Chains A and B, each alone.
Chain A
Amino acid sequence: MPAQDVCDLPGIVARWHRDPANLVQILREVQESCGTIPSDTLDQLAKLLDVPRVRIESTASFYAFFHAESHGAYEILFSDNIIDRMAGKEALKQYFCERLWLEPRKLSEDGLVYVDDTADIGLADQAPAMLVNGYAIPSLDKARLDLVAELIRARKPLAEWPPMLFEVPDNLCKPGPLTGEAFVPGAALKAALARGAEATLAEIDASNLRGRGGAGFKTATKWASCRKAEGEAHYVVCNADEGEPGTFKDRVLLASHADLVFEGMTVCARVIGARLGLLYLRGEYRNLLEKLKSVLARRREAGLLGQNILGEQGFDFDIEIHLGAGAYICGEESALIESLEGKPGKPRNRPPFPDRCGYRNQPTVVNNVETFACAAKIAERGGAWFAALGTPQSAGSKLISISGDCKRPGAYEYPFGVTVRQILIDCGAEDAHAVQVSGPSGTCISFREFDRRIAFEDLATAGAFMVFSRERDMFEVARNFTHFFAHESCGFCTPCRVGTSLLRNIMDKLAAGKGSAYDMNEMKHIMHVLRGTAHCGLGHTAANPVVQTMEKFPDAYEKRLKRLDFEPAFDLDGALQTARLITGRDDEWAHLADD
């Protein structure tokens, strides 16, 4: 069946205002309705949008969730974070493939199902997890996979699958000011309107709120700068591209506290004078889309979005949701903006920063989901209340996503300044040996450092907290992360494009028992180049997991080294295998023995 018969291309394009800036959204809908993005669709889109085909192809080939070849009626992607692996993902995947008689990365012979891995999908507290046609199914075990396999065999449309498969509990284990207090929609906005834009900004300033995405830039400074910046329009962008492996706290906020987030965006719009807000929701959170849209609709009805919000003449603001399509790099704010503009998610050259030149080159505030939630609470309860929480340099509370070797994985809200040790006690991690704070790009700390604190002045974090017990192999943890970075590098700059793949290959060489001290030095050398010359944070930090585990868990590496001096870069005997097959030889000279 030709693609255009099942996919209403003109309709999709019209729904997105024939605007090439919405290309990622258009491609997403094409992919959702026909299962692929065939080559001739690119030509049709080029005509409908009046842009060169090469631009469409650049975008279509950048995102992991877009593909030109068919992945069948059911595309199954297993989340491949180290936490999923620790929870038995590999064995379960194999079990599932055997049940359906198929091989990973190969469309089943009946063209029905395709199985592959994907980067962490934000369910580390419910690992292992997977996506079926983009919808998440958590807490996989054999029974659940049996059910999935049956549904696939019966060719049941996804809409008719038991809803309980897709239920994702919040796992909120420790509520706090954001997650534990009732919030009346409109409360923050009313307070902000009563106070006025300037005074609201002053409250945000007084609160000492710093960005929750990890970098910790002062929110009021960003808003003030954007408010001052001149432009045809101002925009509010909420970064819900929570892609850092091990992080899922935004999932919880969006699932159960969306009003707080949208209200924070609306308060920001009031302060900077924006009429449009965009929530960039990572593709992996597709499950949340309808629910979020209904929250938006309810808010419109309540007069909290739309024209003359809460009766305030001229206060017009609305929020659109854009879905990502499988690209960790879009969590970087300028890459996110590129993606919102329909382009591959490659970080821009900065300065200028988005506060002056962001979405459509206009002044834009980009903040994390949690930052907007905090902003709403501050607008409601005042800056002094917030500033009194946490530490002097890190005001407020922080949502932590806890996963790995502990009894109670889930979301925890702490005042800043809490020690790692306290968190470990609370989540029941009795045998913790190491914690990866803030994901692969964050900090790996060993049991010697458990008195360190979660705070910008010590352990800054976007929220991930992956616990590893004594039995875990920290080398394998780091190796999983190097694969992640190599897969997620956007490929724009030389050091990251090449360096992340070099690192991954060396880690694989070590894992195969063919490493040497030479390789260890190579990795340090690559790390140095990445840290100094990469274009963005992804590249700067991509070697951190290796370098930190090398330093803190040297045994994990040393036991793998075959010798101290040097080992060939490739498997000598393996590289003769093709020739052995062709010639039919298996004599002594047809092999290269190890020295």
Chain B
Amino acid sequence: MTKLKVATCSLAGCFGCHMSLLDIDEKLFELVKAVEFDRSPITDIKHCGPCDIGIVEGGVCNAENVHVLKEFRRNCRILVAMGACAITGGIPALRNNVDLWDCFQEVYHYGIGLEKGQIPNDPELPLPFDRVHPINEVVRIDYFLPGCPPPADAIWKFLTDLAAGREPKLDYDMLHYD
């Protein structure tokens, strides 16, 4: 049996969803029998090639997030939004009602311990958006797996359903937004 190719990434997220993925513990052995990881924090591969499933944690808060997300969409047959941030913007979206200029001032001018702070303008730094957006506002998303993070069991159930070609279905206890 050919293994399913899976890529994962974290955009404006905290990697908590990835930690929850690792939290499936001993089932990881079963997982790697069925799945081969392409780009992922787990493999440290930097770009993803053609994949069966792409799993995206985190929302879109800057230009680089868009590049990564679009690469995933181009390469992944099925794209999954995993966790509150990817689905609603989540905790990073708490900044959405703060003016971006105020954010920069707070971070680079008035932050504790800063002296003569300057706003960085290096082209290597991704430029932030006015607001943080869920990923379905940037590319088409096929499946949503909510939770902050989704419980390990939910991720397992979701992935095994998908791998088996079933429509993923979560029991009540596995569906959470927090």
Is B138 in contact with A568, judged by CB distance below 8 angstroms? Answer: yes
Interface window among B8-16, B26-34, B129-137 = B129-137
Is B104 in contact with A589, judged by CB distance below 8 angstroms? Answer: no
| In the bound complex, CA of A587 to CA of B121 (Å) | 10
A575 interfacial contact with B, CB 8 Å: yes
B41 interfacial contact with A, CB 8 Å: no
Beyond A565-B140, A572-B66, A595-B70, is A579–B129 a contact (Cβ under 8 Å)? yes
A6 interfacial contact with B, CB 8 Å: no
A147 interfacial contact with B, CB 8 Å: no
Is A583 in contact with B121, judged by CB distance below 8 angstroms? Answer: yes
> Nearest Cβ distance between residue B112 and chain A, in whole angstroms?
21
Q: Please, what's the 1-or-0 string for B93-136, where 1 marks a CB less than 8 Å from any CB in chain A?
A: 00000001100100000000000000111011011111101000
CB under 8 Å from chain A, chain B span 46-84: 63, 66, 70
Is B70 in contact with A566, judged by CB distance below 8 angstroms? Answer: no
Is B130 in contact with A578, judged by CB distance below 8 angstroms? Answer: yes
Is A572 in contact with B138, judged by CB distance below 8 angstroms? Answer: yes
**Chain B residues closer than 8 Å to A592, beta-carbon distance:** 63, 66
Is B137 in contact with A589, judged by CB distance below 8 angstroms? Answer: no
**Chain A residues closer than 8 Å to B138, beta-carbon distance:** 568-569, 572
Is B130 in contact with A575, judged by CB distance below 8 angstroms? Answer: yes
Beyond A566-B140, A588-B123, is A582–B101 a contact (Cβ under 8 Å)? yes
Is A585 in contact with B127, judged by CB distance below 8 angstroms? Answer: yes
Beyond A565-B140, A566-B140, A569-B133, is A582–B66 a contact (Cβ under 8 Å)? no
Interface size on A, residues (CB 8 A): 24
**Chain B residues closer than 8 Å to A584, beta-carbon distance:** 121
> Nearest Cβ distance between residue A491 and chain B, in whole angstroms?
20
Beyond A566-B140, A582-B104, is A575–B121 a contact (Cβ under 8 Å)? no
| In the bound complex, CA of A591 to CA of B126 (Å) | 10
Is B131 in contact with A575, judged by CB distance below 8 angstroms? Answer: yes
Is A587 in contact with B128, judged by CB distance below 8 angstroms? Answer: no
| In the bound complex, CA of A40 to CA of B120 (Å) | 47
B19 interfacial contact with A, CB 8 Å: no
Is B127 in contact with A576, judged by CB distance below 8 angstroms? Answer: yes
B139 interfacial contact with A, CB 8 Å: yes
Query: Contacting B121 at CB < 8 Å: which of A565, A572, A576, A585?
Result: A585
| In the bound complex, CA of A595 to CA of B104 (Å) | 29
A16 interfacial contact with B, CB 8 Å: no
Is A570 in contact with B100, judged by CB distance below 8 angstroms? Answer: no
**Chain A residues closer than 8 Å to B119, beta-carbon distance:** 582-583
A518 interfacial contact with B, CB 8 Å: yes
Is A589 in contact with B100, judged by CB distance below 8 angstroms? Answer: no
Interface size on B, residues (CB 8 A): 22
> Nearest Cβ distance between residue B88 and chain A, in whole angstroms?
13
Is A579 in contact with B128, judged by CB distance below 8 angstroms? Answer: yes
Query: Contacting A575 at CB < 8 Å: which of B70, B124, B129?
Result: B129
**Chain A residues closer than 8 Å to B139, beta-carbon distance:** 566, 568
Is B66 in contact with A587, judged by CB distance below 8 angstroms? Answer: no
> Nearest Cβ distance between residue B103 and chain A, in whole angstroms?
9
Query: Contacting A576 at CB < 8 Å: which of B123, B124, B129?
Result: B129
Is A570 in contact with B133, judged by CB distance below 8 angstroms? Answer: yes
**Chain A residues closer than 8 Å to B101, beta-carbon distance:** 578, 582
**Chain A residues closer than 8 Å to B63, beta-carbon distance:** 576, 589-592
Is A590 in contact with B128, judged by CB distance below 8 angstroms? Answer: no
- Among A569, A578, A588, A595, the most chain B Cβ lie within 10 Å of the Cβ of A578
Is A582 in contact with B123, judged by CB distance below 8 angstroms? Answer: no
Query: Contacting A585 at CB < 8 Å: which of B123, B130, B137?
Result: B123
Query: Contacting A579 at CB < 8 Å: which of B127, B133, B140?
Result: B127
A142 interfacial contact with B, CB 8 Å: no
Q: Please, what's the 1-or-0 string for A418-449, where 1 marks a CB less than 8 Å from any CB in chain B?
A: 00000000000000000000000000000000
A580 interfacial contact with B, CB 8 Å: yes
**Chain B residues closer than 8 Å to A582, beta-carbon distance:** 100-101, 104, 119
Query: Contacting A587 at CB < 8 Å: which of B123, B137, B140?
Result: B123
| In the bound complex, CA of A583 to CA of B124 (Å) | 13
Is A589 in contact with B140, judged by CB distance below 8 angstroms? Answer: no
**Chain A residues closer than 8 Å to B70, beta-carbon distance:** 595
> Nearest Cβ distance between residue B98 and chain A, in whole angstroms?
12
> Nearest Cβ distance between residue B111 and chain A, in whole angstroms?
15
Q: Please, what's the 1-or-0 string for A512-526, where 1 marks a CB less than 8 Å from any CB in chain B?
A: 000000100000000
Is B66 in contact with A583, judged by CB distance below 8 angstroms? Answer: no
B105 nearest in chain A by CB position: A582
B127 nearest in chain A by CB position: A579
| In the bound complex, CA of A590 to CA of B120 (Å) | 13
| In the bound complex, CA of A286 to CA of B104 (Å) | 50
> Nearest Cβ distance between residue A587 and chain B, in whole angstroms?
4
Beyond A565-B140, A585-B123, is A579–B66 a contact (Cβ under 8 Å)? no
> Nearest Cβ distance between residue B76 and chain A, in whole angstroms?
14
> Nearest Cβ distance between residue A589 and chain B, in whole angstroms?
5
Is B121 in contact with A579, judged by CB distance below 8 angstroms? Answer: no
> Nearest Cβ distance between residue B56 and chain A, in whole angstroms?
15
Is B137 in contact with A578, judged by CB distance below 8 angstroms? Answer: no
**Chain B residues closer than 8 Å to A591, beta-carbon distance:** 63
| In the bound complex, CA of A588 to CA of B66 (Å) | 14
Query: Contacting B123 at CB < 8 Å: which of A575, A579, A589?
Result: A589
Is A590 in contact with B100, judged by CB distance below 8 angstroms? Answer: no
- Among B119, B129, B133, B140, the most chain A Cβ lie within 10 Å of the Cβ of B129
| In the bound complex, CA of A577 to CA of B127 (Å) | 9
B134 nearest in chain A by CB position: A569
> Nearest Cβ distance between residue A453 and chain B, in whole angstroms?
45
| In the bound complex, CA of A595 to CA of B140 (Å) | 14
A591 nearest in chain B by CB position: B63
**Chain A residues closer than 8 Å to B120, beta-carbon distance:** 583
**Chain B residues closer than 8 Å to A590, beta-carbon distance:** 63, 123, 127
- Among A566, A580, A595, the most chain B Cβ lie within 10 Å of the Cβ of A566
**Chain B residues closer than 8 Å to A585, beta-carbon distance:** 121, 123, 127
B73 nearest in chain A by CB position: A566
- Can you list 15 residue pairs at the A/B interface with Cβ under 8 Å? A566-B139, A566-B140, A568-B139, A570-B133, A572-B138, A575-B129, A575-B131, A579-B128, A579-B130, A582-B104, A582-B119, A583-B121, A583-B127, A589-B63, A591-B63
* Nearest 7 A/B pairs, CB to CB: A569-B137, A566-B140, A587-B123, A583-B121, A575-B129, A579-B127, A578-B100
A residues in contact (CB < 8 Å) with B: 518, 565-566, 568-570, 572, 575-580, 582-585, 587-592, 595
Given A565-B140, A589-B126; 16 other pairs, CB 8 A cutoff: A566-B140, A568-B138, A569-B133, A572-B66, A572-B138, A575-B130, A576-B127, A576-B128, A577-B130, A578-B101, A579-B128, A582-B100, A589-B124, A590-B63, A590-B123, A590-B127
